Structure 1
Amino acid sequence: MSFSDSSLTPPPDADATASLSWALCVATLDRIDMLEHCVTCAMAQTRAPHQIVIVDASSDWQANRERIRVLVGDRVPLVYLPAPERSLTVQRNTAIAACNADICMLIDDDSLMHADCAEIIMRIYEADTKAMILGIAGGDGPSPLSLDDVAQKEGSAASGRARAIAGSHIGMFLWKHLFLMNRAATFVSYEGPFGSPVPDWAAAQGLDLRPTIQLPGCRMTVRRSALLREPFESAFRSYCPGEDFDISYRLSRIGMICTAPAARIYHHEVAASRIRREQELVLSICNAAYLLRKHSPDLDRDRRRWALLMSRRLLAELLKDGLSRRWGFPQLRAARRAMAISRKIMTFPDKAQLAGWYIAVQQDILKQR
């Protein structure tokens, strides 16, 4: 839908002159061609960015900075920083600290905003004068640019079978609860239920908002004030699987998160892979265990919950390997390795030392090929 001025009348106690600023905050690594497309789309917004902040983990970040500086010119202030760590979460926290806008558009470097995306999202934030909504995810949309010069990641060999399995109600149930191909099924909550409702006044104002339990990292926007209170998990390394679900869950415990389908963002999913699939699976499982160990208010209870989930996870990876005819069972072996590491995480005695220890564990996982 498109928003008319009348549909965006703020709640009764709102300041009609309220105006917020937004910044593009991007963590990047070795994707300068795609990053240029990302920045080009940000610069083409009908509501211009207040600032562009990029934190680059590339070895040639200075050369990348010059290419982006030429692209941006003097139209928008540019902050281009080297990454203190090769870590999506550390890079995002660095960008948040360096920006001075009200709203952080924390999209991936291979995400492209449609021209009216920022305008739609910012009008929603401004209509919410009580700051009840802390995060808004953009909706999925087609690419606003031609991307013939950037290869896209291929689907898995089992993608046809996956679509067939998930194409019915029974299939969707199996997809989520047997194969555990749903993030909510592999995330053990720390304190309470997932997600949050959409505010009551949104529908009355004609705002097309949908409840969600996840702000996907490729289409995420968040109030900077909320991120200063609840930063991304700084102990994660590499591309940090699970970081977006964690921050979404924590934000939903102190405010509201939702999706704005009309604010379209295209995620290209560049072909260049950071790590192998088995490493990704190990990190994904271990990251979830780390988050539960760090935040759990009842560790005995959550150790039991985790053990049950890992039993289901081993079965799921066995089935996925078998159905894909991977007779070496690489994902099952990766899950078994992750299970062993996660036991150490869940029984780690000193929470004050947990982050430093887990950083070393991740570095060991990433070294192995």
Structure 2
Amino acid sequence: MLTWSLVIPTYNRRDVLLRALPLALRQTEPPVQVVIVDSSEDWEMTRQAVQKLAADHPAIRLDYLQANTPSSATQRNQGVEEAIGDIVVMIDDDSFLYPDYVERILAVYAADSQGVLAAVNGVNVSVMPDAQAATGLARKADSREKITGMRDRVMRYRLGRWISSRILFQDMHALFLKYEGERVLSVPSNFAHLDVTPMTFMAGHGLSVRRAVALAEPLDRSLRYYAALEDLDASYRYGRHGILLRANDALLHHFEVAGGRVKRRTATTFQLLNMLVFIKRNTNRPGVWLGTYRRMLWRRLLGEAIKDGLSRRWDFPQARGVLTAMRNWHKVWKTPVEELDRWYPGQQRAILNQI
């Protein structure tokens, strides 16, 4: 039987972590280990509170670690390196798992008689698994800023959906440049009895992956200050080792607690600059992608300006984020790949100081 380890990066969110963790500890298929990597200054206080929770589950090994480097990407890597399970389940500290979330994911791995499966994702739903678990916690405002009226009517049609994806970049397949091409999306016959869907990308708030694959394809280590798109990049690279499937009956609720939100301009800037880091690091011929990348910058400028206007953000933060990326992308491009881990964190910091 496959074993699994839970990995959770956290930073200054003790309240929500202590609400979400019990649901993970009480899974119908419990973990052999929980690894929490904390970059908070008071991490030892949170560790004590977590140890009290874990005391009711003595069969589960708890490794509560201080982060070597404060970054969601590097903290996940640190957790994976400590993991002992065959499967690593990575969630955010505000991900609330349904009781059978991991049981249903493990059922997909168990059906992999041909060894073709690299990773399995679940489904984020709008309903909490335990209505009382988040009592008193503040949820951040809806970052999508859904526009009612005309746009909702337009989205009913194919053209409207195309505009949303290709012009407004409201889809991960538009946001991410697939530097190794399209993945083959199919479901082998040995998974036919399961409710699964093939995937190219996985969201970091609730993914699982074979530990060997996670070690071979760590999240990008240069993303220290804002790790935008890091889950898409890592899970895209998981596809080098096998197929990715979504278990449609494995449910979780990503709460998106208040305080976890970055400025729109910052998020947009680093989505674009991080994408160039991924291209430089992971393709043998990055120059082939430079033209595509630069065209995407101009398309994003148009799309983000439209979204800012539709949402009445008259300081146009997302369009300004694209302009910031336009002023800085050439510095990333000129930096040798072997220097990215050293140089890019400083560049991120410098940009943050400017904006």
Shared fold per TM-score greater than 0.5: yes
What's 1:106 paired with?
A: 90
Shift of 1:324: 2.1
TM-superposition CA deviations, 1:124-157 (whole Å, max 9, x none): 2122144311110012232112212211111248
Confirm or deny that 1:355 pairs with 2:341. yes
Shift of 1:365: 2.7
Find the partner of 2:128 among 143, 147, 163: 143
Q: Which residues of structure 2 form unaligned runs of 5+?
A: none
Confirm or deny that 1:69 pairs with 2:51. yes
Amino acid of the residue matched to residue 120 of structure 1? Answer: R
Confirm or deny that 1:83 pairs with 2:40. no
Q: Aligned with 1:341: secondary structure? A: helix
Shift of 1:187: 1.4
What's 1:319 paired with?
A: 306
Q: Aligned with 1:160: secondary structure? A: coil
Confirm or deny that 1:93 pairs with 2:77. yes
Indicate conservation of the 8 Å contact 2:27/2:99, yes or no.
yes
Tell me the percent identity: 32
Find the partner of 2:295 among 308, 326, 329: 308
Indicate conservation of the 8 Å contact 1:196/1:252, yes or no.
no
Q: Aligned with 2:269: secondary structure? A: helix
Say if 1:200 and 1:34 are closer, same or farther in 2 by CA, change over 3 A: same
What's 2:213 paired with?
A: 226
Report the TM-score when normalising by structure 1. 0.90
Q: Distance in 2 between matches of 1:59 and 1:48?
A: 30
Q: Aligned with 2:205: secondary structure? A: helix
Amino acid of the residue matched to residue 151 of structure 1? Answer: A
Say if 1:179 and 1:66 are closer, same or farther in 2 by CA, change over 3 A: same
Q: Which residues of structure 1 form unaligned runs of 5+?
A: 1-18
Indicate conservation of the 8 Å contact 1:318/1:331, yes or no.
yes
What's 1:21 paired with?
A: 3
Amino acid of the residue matched to residue 129 of structure 2? Answer: P
Find the partner of 1:180 among 156, 165, 169: 169
Shift of 1:85: 1.2
Q: Distance in 1 between matches of 2:244 and 2:25?
A: 26
Say if 1:72 and 1:191 are closer, same or farther in 2 by CA, change over 3 A: same
Shift of 1:171: 1.7
Amino acid of the residue matched to residue 288 of structure 2? Answer: R
Amino acid of the residue matched to residue 168 of structure 2? Answer: F
Q: Distance in 2 between matches of 1:163 and 1:194?
A: 31
Shift of 1:291: 0.7
Shift of 1:176: 0.4
Confirm or deny that 1:166 pairs with 2:150. no
What's 2:223 paired with?
A: 236
Indicate conservation of the 8 Å contact 1:165/1:175, yes or no.
no
Find the partner of 1:190 among 179, 190, 203: 179
Amino acid of the residue matched to residue 32 of structure 1? Answer: R
Find the partner of 1:131 among 101, 110, 115: 115
Shift of 1:274: 4.6
What's 1:5 paired with?
A: none
Q: Distance in 2 between matches of 1:38 and 1:195?
A: 35
Q: Distance in 1 between matches of 2:154 and 2:42?
A: 44
Say if 1:320 and 1:135 are closer, same or farther in 2 by CA, change over 3 A: same
What's 1:346 paired with?
A: 333
Say if 1:144 and 1:241 are closer, same or farther in 2 by CA, change over 3 A: same
Indicate conservation of the 8 Å contact 2:9/2:72, yes or no.
yes
Confirm or deny that 1:54 pairs with 2:41. no
The Cα RMSD (Å) is 1.7
Indicate conservation of the 8 Å contact 2:111/2:190, yes or no.
no
Confirm or deny that 1:334 pairs with 2:318. no
Q: Distance in 2 between matches of 1:93 and 1:41?
A: 23
